[in-house]
DNA sequence: CGCCTATTTGATCTGATTCAAACAATGTGG
DNA sequence: CCACATTGTTTGAATCAGATCAAATAGGCG
């Protein structure tokens, strides 16, 4: 559980301000957004491929992921989501979900009606651009993962994922002394990297063996950021934080 | 060459209308958009990783692709673009390019100032949503490619790419009797699928051997769409055409 | 304690890569 | 119009990164 005292809307604001600036009135409008908060247990689907949602879902606490299955039953995870994210913001403009959103851990979610989001953006056109930008960063991360899955070795790929998650968690204030919560199973990491669980395990042992990181009980500790970045070929430009 | 008599703006309109409806005044505003048309030879970079463009680029004629290199010099192609696309629309909200855009064939490009696009969207908020939606479909295609590269066999992956390109070209009127222009090298296809050129070649021979398609001299002929779709596990939902 | 889930280890197999070379098609300059 | 350079396709053989299969171990929890 990645608990915190912030309200749902505050989490969203913090996340958005990790990549853009907001005006006071925009912050106010976000705080006034009606939301229905709900707790969801781990490993539950929140939105499914084929659904036609009329609301989006703000992740307040916990970890979530988006994924899709092959006809042959193999899963690819497209993204891991952390507090402050709206993982299914795209449903605002894409009628039918082409993939699913599920919880990784127990989560607190806040559902926001499409209508309310549309009204918000109508009143605050700059916010529309902020959200658009957010979905573009989402896409930038897809590209980076694609590059990794298609062209990088297992070791580089895994190191890269860990660098990315670390930076993103840091940006929303979930890092403390090179430690971040990372409650993923090796199986989930494999589904994200296009690797088998077994191979994730062995690759992880390499990274541990080189004293780049520790990762136990859902907690990731970065021991040597510079060398981790190096073996990951990690350049954070694509995260478009500023 | 995928020539045609349509003006740059008409190409754009046709493309947008393959996935949404436009109002007459929106069509008019698009036609009034100032553009600087330019011819570019094959294999040239149009926008490079690290650039901070002040204009976007409408592909009027020819094929283009977006890509990025690994530190070890391996290329991953993220997308192929066909006439009517604005491949770098994302530069409107992402200051720094995190990947490159290049021509595959000789191309006709039409450059549009960011300022003009912003003004257009300010005057026609619905168009902003249309363009946003377009970048979301871009992202949906990334996800599908990721699923393929991460979890599908070479054969399925290649068949899937060909299905996708075929449908997209059809949507912008470039298909005739199951034939579409496809002026890609096997090397480029490999860089898109995360495969070596050699393996693309052998896989292609399988598809040809099963009489699913022909592909010569930059022309793709689909011989058996249904069986191609089947071996590709192709479900076009993710293209969000309607 | 016993159950369930996640991690780890070992052995074997395979889809795809790599390297190397032949072949085909197209274009270019003399 | 031919020699030859260039780029793309095809073929063969050897190799390897990572998958698969199977089983042991470890941790948490009711």
**Statement: residue A68 has pLDDT above 90:** yes
Of A15-29, A88-102, B95-109, B144-158, least confident by mean pLDDT is A15-29
Instruction: Please list, in sequence order, all residues whose beta carbon lies within 8 angstroms of the beta carbon of residue A21, skipping any fewer than 6 positions away.
Output: none
Cα B60 to the center of its chain, rounded Å: 12
**Statement: residue A196 has pLDDT above 60:** yes
**Statement: residue A1 has pLDDT above 80:** no
Contact call for residues A112 and A58 (beta carbons, < 8 A):
yes
Mean pLDDT of chain A: 95
Q: Does A139 sit within 8 Å of B139, measured CB to CB?
A: yes
Structure tokens given for A43: 């490993």
Q: What is the pTM of this model?
A: 0.95
Contact call for residues B178 and B213 (beta carbons, < 8 A):
no
pLDDT of residue B217: 85
The answer to whether the beta carbon of residue B91 comes closer than 7 angstroms to any atom of strand D is: no
Q: Is B42 on the interface with A (CB under 8 A)?
A: no
pLDDT of residue A6: 80
Residue bearing tokens 């930059």: B218
**Statement: residue B140 has pLDDT above 50:** yes
Residue range B112-124, pLDDT digits in tens? 999 999 999 999 9
Contact call for residues B135 and A139 (beta carbons, < 8 A):
yes
Residue range B73-83, pLDDT digits in tens? 999 999 999 99
Contact call for residues A234 and A162 (beta carbons, < 8 A):
no
For residue B54, how many other CB atoms are within 10 A of its CB? 10
**Statement: residue A2 has pLDDT above 50:** no
Among residues B176, B182, B150, the alpha carbon closest in space to that of B164 is found at B182
Surface of A (76-115) touching B: CB under 8 A: 76, 78, 90, 93-96, 98-99
Locate the chain B residue with the closest alpha carbon to A152. Answer: B70
- Rounded Cα–Cα distance for residues A80 and A69 (Å): 16
Name the minimum distance, in Å, from the CA of A6 to any CA of chain B.
Answer: 28
* B153: nearest nucleotide, CA–C1' criterion: C15
**Rg from Cα positions in chain B:** 18
pLDDT of residue B2: 45
The answer to whether the beta carbon of residue A187 comes closer than 7 angstroms to any atom of strand C is: yes
Locate the chain B residue with the closest alpha carbon to A66. Answer: B143
Q: Does A144 sit within 8 Å of B139, measured CB to CB?
A: no
- Rounded Cα–Cα distance for residues A157 and A159 (Å): 5
The answer to whether the beta carbon of residue A217 comes closer than 7 angstroms to any atom of strand D is: yes
Of all residues in chain A, what percent carry a pLDDT higher than 70?
A: 98
pLDDT of residue B1: 42
Query: Three-state DSSP class for A213?
Result: strand
Query: Three-state DSSP class for A69?
Result: strand
How far, in Å, is the CA of B74 from the C1' of nucleotide D7?
20
pLDDT of residue A217: 85
Contact call for residues A27 and A38 (beta carbons, < 8 A):
no
Residue bearing tokens 């855009």: B101
Name the minimum distance, in Å, from the CA of B233 to any CA of chain A.
Answer: 7
Q: Does B75 sit within 8 Å of A151, measured CB to CB?
A: yes
- CA-to-CA separations, B174 to B7, B82, B94, B110, B151, in angstroms, rounded: 15, 10, 31, 19, 30
Task: Determine the average pLDDT of the residues in B144-159.
Answer: 98
pLDDT of residue A4: 56
Name the minimum distance, in Å, from the CA of B63 to any CA of chain A.
Answer: 20
pLDDT of residue B4: 57
Task: Determine the average pLDDT of the residues in A48-66.
Answer: 97
- Rounded Cα–Cα distance for residues A81 and A144 (Å): 16
How far, in Å, is the CA of B167 from the C1' of nucleotide C25?
29
Residue range A169-188, pLDDT digits in tens? 999 899 999 999 999 999 99
């Amino acid at each position: 559980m990645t608990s915190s005292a912030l309200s749902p809307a505050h989490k969203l604001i913090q996340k958005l301000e990790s990549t853009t600036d907001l005006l006071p009135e925009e912050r106010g409008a976000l705080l006034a957004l009606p939301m229905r908060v709900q707790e969801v247990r781990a490993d539950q689907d929140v939105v499914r491929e084929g659904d036609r949602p009329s609301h989006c879902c703000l992740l307040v606490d916990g970890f979530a992921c988006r994924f899709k299955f092959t006809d042959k039953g193999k899963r690819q995870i497209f993204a891991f989501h952390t507090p402050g994210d709206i993982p299914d913001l795209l449903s605002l403009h894409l009628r039918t979900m082409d993939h699913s959103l599920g919880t990784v851990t127990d989560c607190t979610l806040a559902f926001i009606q499409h209508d309310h989001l549309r009204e918000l953006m109508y009143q605050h056109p700059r916010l529309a651009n902020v959200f658009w930008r957010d979905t573009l960063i989402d896409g930038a991360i897809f590209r980076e993962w694609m590059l990794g899955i298609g062209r990088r070795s297992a070791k580089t790929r895994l190191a890269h994922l860990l660098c990315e998650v670390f930076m993103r968690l840091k940006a929303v204030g979930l890092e403390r002394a090179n430690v971040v919560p990372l409650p993923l199973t090796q199986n989930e990491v494999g589904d994200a990297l296009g690797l088998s669980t077994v191979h994730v395990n062995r690759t992880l042992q390499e990274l541990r063996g080189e004293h780049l990181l520790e990762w136990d009980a859902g907690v990731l500790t970065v021991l040597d950021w510079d060398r981790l970045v190096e073996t990951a070929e990690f350049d954070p430009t694509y995260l478009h934080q500023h």
